[in-house]
Chain A
Amino acid sequence: MLEMGQSEIEHSITGYSPPFVEVFTMSVRNFASVAAGSELAGISSALLLSRIPLVTPDLHPFEAAYYNYQNELKRRLMWTFPKYYYFRKGTVAEREFVQAQKYPLFKRPGVWFPRGVPDLKHGRDRRFKEEVTLPKQQERADEDDELSKPVVFNSRVTAADEAGDLTSLERRLSRTLYLLIKTKGAWKFPSFPLVEPKPLHEAAEQGLREIGSVNMNTWTVSNTPTAVLKYSNGKLLDAETQEKEVEREYFIKSHIIGGDFQISSSDVEEFRWLTKEEVEQTVEPQYYGQLGHLLSTV
């Protein structure tokens, strides 16, 4: 037992203590001895709150052309539609289906075919892809005829996109949006100094509800911070700084699932939901240089 205890102590001494452990040990010390505030002064918890993409990413024209080419090729190589399986012979459904089809030309001797000689098997020209047309259901036209109704896609460009509304969660549907707030004239991710000993992710979530509204459903990805920024007297330092007396700002990653951010604190002058490129143009270059790699390009 004694040996085990010693090895544990040695491990805890020699082992590297990550920044988030440091916070917990400090908080325990606070409980035991001094009042909160002095020891927690250099620590703040920031929130990287994102809205994940709602629709598929926009395709590059080359990608779209590639998918289209492969798809047409696959349709060309597909089996002929098994009419006999879906429509029993001699039924009304079969007759309607047969009438709705556009059958290809068949080969005749002495006839010149400008698009090439047909190569027919089971009523299908094997040189091309097969087009199957579903019959219109005349009797039930008033009902919701799901199968023969053409598919109409919703627009990927929303009203918020057209109006240029940067505060809407319904802009840039195919991109990840990040919440930026303007405090004291500077654009930053929301950041909250730790005033009482509690885990970083709880402090960040609580702070967000104080400046935003409680009608917001967010999901914290992990209690592990995703980045740390170091400051000295409010000035951002390099990531590899060797200074001992620094203030640390830990970044907690979170997604907004429901609700909306509405300013409910006088400290916040303005807020925006921005993509990576827009964040780069809004915040300070040094600030973006240390956080840009965390933001999604999609």
Chain B
Amino acid sequence: MLGYRSFSTSSVSLKVGCAMVKPVHHRVKVIKKLLSPRFPELKLSPTDPRSPKFRPEITHQDRVQEHIHNTLRSDLMLINYIHGEKPAEGLKRRQWDFTSPYHINRPARPPKGEKVPTPTIMPQSWKNVPGIEKVVVHSFVANCTSDPKLNIGVSLQLQQITGVKPQSVYAKTNLPSFGLRKGVKMGAKVELTGRDASQFLSTLTELVLPRITTFEGISNRAGSRYGTVSFGLKPEDVLYFPEIYYNQDAWAKRFGMDITIHTTAQLDREARQLLSGLGLPFVGTEREPKLTR
């Protein structure tokens, strides 16, 4: 009876000399600074202006979000609305039929033709109209293995462009042929939400992408199938960000970046409809997941 918990001692059936079950009162985490009366402002929520952690977030009108809310949402709803539509079931893990006693505790089989389950696509309603969730800008620099100082430049470039403090990214695997070792710092990334994301998107669509002569549009096949769209900028394209363009002397070395736009759309098609409304062009043939609307 392992699942049966007695609070002071371990179960009688286990017959060991000491308690294997930790007492409950040790599990209650106590933050001592909050018990102390000396720092009352630490007890305040970070959203309270009296808290030392408070940072004002809503400092400007967000014209990208306002455009989405005032103009795009009703259009997206109408475009994808199908009267009397039913949810399109995704492929889920297949349970065993328990005809054999060995089926008990056996893990469920993967979905048919897939390795991971696919989401169920719900009908379009006013509750699930797509919106921008976050924008991730990621720079992986292969030369960091030989020149680790490049990490400073990458982080600085991302901070200059987005105005948000970057996080370092590390190699996940060993690849001896590329001189890659697990755990080595290989660049940086930033996650943008709210007004930072809006600001980055409008800079991209109004200043950067129109100036790139070789840019034709984001590929219609670029995406996670379920509402996330990604594309890349080369080091020579990054020049056109105004923060870099007007201070080119300081940016002798520039780094490319991968931009991933996470939306609340259920399918890439809907995400592209939203992003086209924000001025991002798309080219090429489309790819639709099976068994969906």
Contacts and interface: CB of A to CB of B under 8 A. Distances in A.
A293 to B, nearest CB: 11
A78 B247 CA distance: 22
Given A53-B70, A298-B70, A16 B78 contact: no
A74 B59 contact: yes
B75 A253 contact: yes
A127 to B, nearest CB: 16
Given A71-B56, A226-B78, A16 B71 contact: no
A67 B75 CA distance: 29
B186 to A, nearest CB: 24
Interface in B76-91: 78-79, 81-84
Contacts of A86: 247, 250
A266 interface: no
B61 A74 contact: no
A224 B70 contact: no
Bin the interface of chain A by size: 20 to 34
B75 A296 contact: no
Contacts of A147: 246
A229 interface: no
A74 B78 contact: no
B66 interface: yes
A74 B250 contact: no
Contacts of A52: 71
Nearest to A73: B56
Given A73-B59, A176-B70, A296-B71, 13 more contacts: A16-B83, A59-B61, A70-B56, A70-B57, A71-B59, A74-B59, A86-B247, A222-B75, A222-B79, A222-B81, A224-B83, A296-B74, A298-B70
Interface of B: 49, 55-61, 63, 66, 70-71, 74-75, 78-79, 81-84, 246-247, 250
14 contacts: A16-B84, A18-B83, A18-B84, A56-B63, A63-B61, A70-B56, A71-B60, A73-B56, A74-B55, A176-B71, A221-B78, A222-B81, A224-B81, A296-B71
